[in-house]
């Protein structure tokens, strides 16, 4: 399998990944064996790849898949490599995206405080570099992290701001994802 075939195959991954409303909307897999096969395929491609762009893509995919698979330390390692690559290449967009993903990996590793530091770093970079296209994602993930810490008022503030930005974008799926978490906070506050 080559990288293009793998990318086509990735379109089916959404069939096995979902957000668990009973676990703070964390991503989970309904079929770990299929997820494991994606991981194996990506590892083989990464091992044989010499293209920097493909290597960043594969490390990023592997980070996400390992996080969902329950191996957050491997995810952290892959995202740290991605962040180093993005920083060396002075690619601020990739830095921000990777920081958000790295924060999620730390959250899944039960280190929400470290995750918050990283989400805040992503927010600062978004604002300093006018990267507003990622601001809602950084706020969404920070809000979900605060939710896990029981800091509901702060979480709600972040999520309401993410919702406002997502409404401006007009992306219904993003709006609904944020609204679900806000609804959960509303239930928890009662």
Give the DSSP letter string of 114-174. HHHHHHHHHHHHHHHTT-GGGHHHHHHHHHHHHHHTT-HHHHHHHHHHHHHHHHHHT-HHH
Instruction: Quote the percentage of the chain above a pLDDT of 90.
Output: 94
**Consecutive H or E run containing 81:** helix 72-88
Q: What is the pLDDT of residues 138-165, one digit of tens each?
A: 999 999 999 999 999 999 999 999 999 9
Which tens digit of pLDDT belongs to each residue from 13-67? 999 999 998 998 999 999 999 999 999 999 999 999 999 999 999 999 999 999 9
pTM above 0.85, yes or no: yes
Identify whether 26 is part of a domain: no
Same domain, 179 and 96: no
DSSP letter assigned to residue 16: T
Does a structural domain hold residue 46? yes
Domain containing residue 153: 133-190
Q: Is residue 159 part of a domain?
A: yes
Same domain as 54, residue 80: yes
Same domain, 43 and 106: yes
Inside any domain, residue 21: no
How many independent structural domains does the chain possess? 2
């Amino acid at each position: 399998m080559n990288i293009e075939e793998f990318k086509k195959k990735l379109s089916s991954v959404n069939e096995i990944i979902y957000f668990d409303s009973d676990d703070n909307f964390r991503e989970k897999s309904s079929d770990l064996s299929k997820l494991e096969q994606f991981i194996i395929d990506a590892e083989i491609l990464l091992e044989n790849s010499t293209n920097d762009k493909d290597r960043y893509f594969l490390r990023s995919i592997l980070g996400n898949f390992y996080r969902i698979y329950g191996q957050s330390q491997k995810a952290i390692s892959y995202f740290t490599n991605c962040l180093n690559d993005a920083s060396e290449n002075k690619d601020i967009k990739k830095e921000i995206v990777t920081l958000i993903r790295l924060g999620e990996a730390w959250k899944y590793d039960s280190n929400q405080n470290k995750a918050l530091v990283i989400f805040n770093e992503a927010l600062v970079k978004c604002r300093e570099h006018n990267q507003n296209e990622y601001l809602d994602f950084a706020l969404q993930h920070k809000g979900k992290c605060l939710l896990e810490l029981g800091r509901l008022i702060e979480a709600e503030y972040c999520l309401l701001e993410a919702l406002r930005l997502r409404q401006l974008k007009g992306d219904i799926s993003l709006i609904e994802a944020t609204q679900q978490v806000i609804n959960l906070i509303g239930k928890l506050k009662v």
